[in-house]
């Protein structure tokens, strides 16, 4: 059976789409094609055929307006039995493919309606009406999908009201079986780390303010808008920052060995369902897998994990004093910090890993193929 995953937004080696879902399906014996929009050459990797449509959007507006139309032509040429879509811009594509008699899965990575409310490039007065309009339009299409996949229980509950065939497949990490997680800190001061997209929502200014009263360094790995980075560099505490910019994933793993704890202090927002939180972001789990204790936002979903496994500390985002106290506690109690790190790694192997989610994905596809066979006989 031929399967086609489609994205016009994500890069071809996206962790969830390519490394997890597509690779798992290919390993299970399915004929898998990943259709992207990056203009690069066709290739086969991990048993997955990766092809690009003749569409490389140069702006978010062109991507939103044109990607569905161009991607439809490319998707039809692949002629798969099942299409698995990953972007809200591709909902019109899903509608067209259903009209062509194809099975369609929509993979909802984020709370898009909530995300619209936080988009700074959309004028504030327009955010609510656009969010409402998107919700009405999306629900009309989603109710016709053969399956909807979402990354948090709250999203599945809400989507289940639209389409009962909604499945929770979270973004837990692929297990790294390396046993070498000994700390090799070559710096005198303890190091707290953040790895990922560097933006306002991750409370970096709060972290820098907390660092003024803590004898520690802040390792910052990732990418961000130049204006925001320039603003951070003007902070007095920037002298405590070890900024490496964007680095390869393997180097990230090596750098984590030098660190005392991982920071995942994310603002409350509509995209996180306020204080409920999200399991779509993997940062929390990546630190846990590296054997690091975590200092993270006190989202309900995250706090449940932290409390259950005693693998870190929760704080209110943008609360400088709470963050300072959490950092100081781990510095003053290195044995407790080490135990928390070990607990987090144990939790990944026991409960929060892609192997568990992979079984749910394969079962979903098996059910879909069985229903297709039943309809053709």
The domain that holds 287 is classified in CATH as: 3.40.50.2000
Which has more pLDDT, 217 or 154?
Answer: 217
How many structural domains comprise the chain? 2
| Residue 314 placed within a domain | yes
| Residue 184 placed within a domain | no
Question: 296: which residues sit within 8 A by CB, 6+ positions away?
Answer: 263, 264, 265, 266, 284, 302, 306, 312, 313, 314, 315
Q: Per mean pLDDT, which range of 120-124, 202-206, 211-215, 221-225 is the poorest?
A: 120-124
Question: 90: which residues sit within 8 A by CB, 6+ positions away?
Answer: 6, 7, 8, 67, 68, 71
Q: What is the pLDDT of residue 44?
A: 98
Residues 71, 55 contacting (CB under 8 angstroms):
yes
- Could you tell me the pLDDT band of residue 70, with boundaries at 50, 70 and 90? confident
Give the burial string for 320-356 (b: 16+ CB within 10 Å, else e). bebbbbbbeebbeeeeebbebbebbbebbeeebbbee
What is the CB neighbour count within 10 angstroms for residue 280? Answer: 18
| Residue 110 placed within a domain | yes
| Residue 186 placed within a domain | no
At which residue do the structure tokens 């405590």 appear?
A: 240
Mean pLDDT of 44-57: 89
When mean pLDDT is compared over 19-28, 54-63, 66-75, 149-158, the highest value belongs to 19-28
CA geometry: angle at 121 spanning 237 and 66, to 5°? 130
**Same domain, yes or no: 154 and 204:** no
Across the beta sheet with 82-85, the strand order is 43-45, 48-52, 31-36, 2-6, 82-85, 103-108, 147-150, 166-168
| Residue 177 placed within a domain | no
Question: 367: which residues sit within 8 A by CB, 6+ positions away?
Answer: none
Mean pLDDT of 71-91: 94
Q: What is the pLDDT of residue 249?
A: 82
Task: State how far the Cα of 42 lies from the Cα of 344, in Å rounded to an integer.
Answer: 39
What is the CB neighbour count within 10 angstroms for residue 123? Answer: 9
Task: State how far the Cα of 210 lies from the Cα of 315, in Å rounded to an integer.
Answer: 12
**Same domain, yes or no: 304 and 205:** yes
Specify the DSSP element, H or E, that contains 341.
helix 334-350
Residue 182 has pLDDT above 60, yes or no: no
- Could you tell me the pLDDT band of residue 104, with boundaries at 50, 70 and 90? very high
Specify the DSSP element, H or E, that contains 150.
strand 147-150
As given in the structure block, the two tokens for residue 125 are: 């007065």
Residue 373 has pLDDT above 80, yes or no: no
Q: What is the pLDDT of residue 349?
A: 95
**Same domain, yes or no: 331 and 358:** no
**Same domain, yes or no: 344 and 357:** no
Which has more pLDDT, 244 or 68?
Answer: 244
**Same domain, yes or no: 329 and 372:** no
Write down the number of H helices and E strands in the chain. Answer: 14, 14
**Same domain, yes or no: 141 and 202:** no
Residue whose C-alpha is closest to residue 261's, from 231, 295, 234:
295
Task: State how far the Cα of 76 lies from the Cα of 95, in Å rounded to an integer.
Answer: 13
pLDDT digit string, tens, across residues 326-347: 999 999 999 999 999 999 999 9
Domain span at residue 115 reads 2-172+353-376
Residue 370 has pLDDT above 60, yes or no: yes
Residues 221, 247 contacting (CB under 8 angstroms):
yes
| Residue 179 placed within a domain | no
Task: State how far the Cα of 337 lies from the Cα of 146, in Å rounded to an integer.
Answer: 46
Question: 170: which residues sit within 8 A by CB, 6+ positions away?
Answer: 151, 152, 279, 280, 352, 357
First to last CA, the chain: 17
Residue whose C-alpha is closest to residue 253's, from 186, 312, 199, 178:
178
Mean pLDDT of 282-308: 96
- Could you tell me the pLDDT band of residue 180, with boundaries at 50, 70 and 90? very low
Task: State how far the Cα of 271 lies from the Cα of 115, in Å rounded to an integer.
Answer: 5
Q: What is the pLDDT of residue 58?
A: 60
Q: What is the pLDDT of residue 326?
A: 98
- Could you tell me the pLDDT band of residue 351, with boundaries at 50, 70 and 90? very high
**Same domain, yes or no: 130 and 16:** yes
Residues 295, 265 contacting (CB under 8 angstroms):
yes
**Same domain, yes or no: 16 and 146:** yes
pLDDT digit string, tens, across residues 260-271: 999 999 999 888
SS3 category, 193: strand
**Same domain, yes or no: 137 and 275:** no
Mean of the per-residue pLDDT values of the chain: 91
Q: Output the pTM of the full model.
A: 0.87
């Amino acid at each position: 059976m031929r399967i086609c995953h489609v994205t016009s937004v994500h890069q071809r080696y996206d962790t969830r789409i390519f490394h997890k879902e597509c690779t798992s399906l290919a390993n299970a014996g399915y004929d898998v094609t990943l259709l992207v929009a990056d203009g690069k050459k066709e290739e086969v990797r991990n048993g997955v055929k990766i092809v690009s449509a003749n569409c490389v959007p140069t702006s978010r507006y062109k991507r939103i307006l044109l990607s569905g139309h161009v991607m439809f032509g490319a998707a039809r040429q692949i002629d798969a039995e099942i299409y698995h879509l990953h972007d809200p811009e591709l909902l019109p594509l899903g509608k067209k493919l259903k009209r062509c008699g194809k099975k369609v899965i929509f993979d909802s990575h984020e709370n898009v309606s909530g995300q619209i409310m936080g988009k700074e490039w959309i004028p504030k007065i327009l955010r609510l009406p656009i969010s409402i309009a998107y919700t009405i339009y999306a629900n009309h299409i989603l109710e016709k999908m053969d399956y909807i996949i979402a990354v948090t229980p709250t999203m599945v509950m809400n989507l289940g009201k639209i389409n009962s065939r909604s499945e929770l497949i979270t973004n837990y990490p692929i297990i790294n079986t390396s046993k070498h997680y000994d700390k090799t800190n070559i710096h005198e001061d303890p190091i707290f780390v953040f790895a990922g997209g560097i933006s306002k929502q991750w409370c970096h200014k709060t972290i820098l303010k907390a660092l003024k009263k803590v004898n520690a360094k802040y390792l910052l790995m990732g990418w961000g808008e130049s204006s925001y980075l320039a603003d951070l560099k003007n902070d007095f505490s920037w002298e405590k920052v070890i900024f490496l910019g964007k680095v390869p994933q393997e180097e990230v793993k090596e750098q984590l060995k030098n660190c005392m704890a991982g920071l995942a202090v994310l603002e409350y927002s509509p995209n996180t369902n306020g204080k409920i939180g999200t399991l779509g972001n993997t940062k929390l789990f990546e630190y846990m897998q590296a054997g690091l204790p975590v200092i993270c936002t006190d989202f309900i979903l995250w706090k449940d994990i932290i409390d259950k496994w005693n693998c870190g500390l929760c704080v209110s985002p943008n609360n400088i004093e709470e963050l300072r106290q959490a950092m100081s506690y781990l510095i003053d109690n290195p044995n407790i910090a080490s135990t928390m790190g070990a607990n987090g790694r144990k939790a990944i192997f026991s409960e929060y890993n892609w192997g568990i989610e992979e079984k749910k994905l394969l079962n979903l596809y098996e059910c879909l193929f069985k229903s297709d066979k039943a309809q053709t006989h």
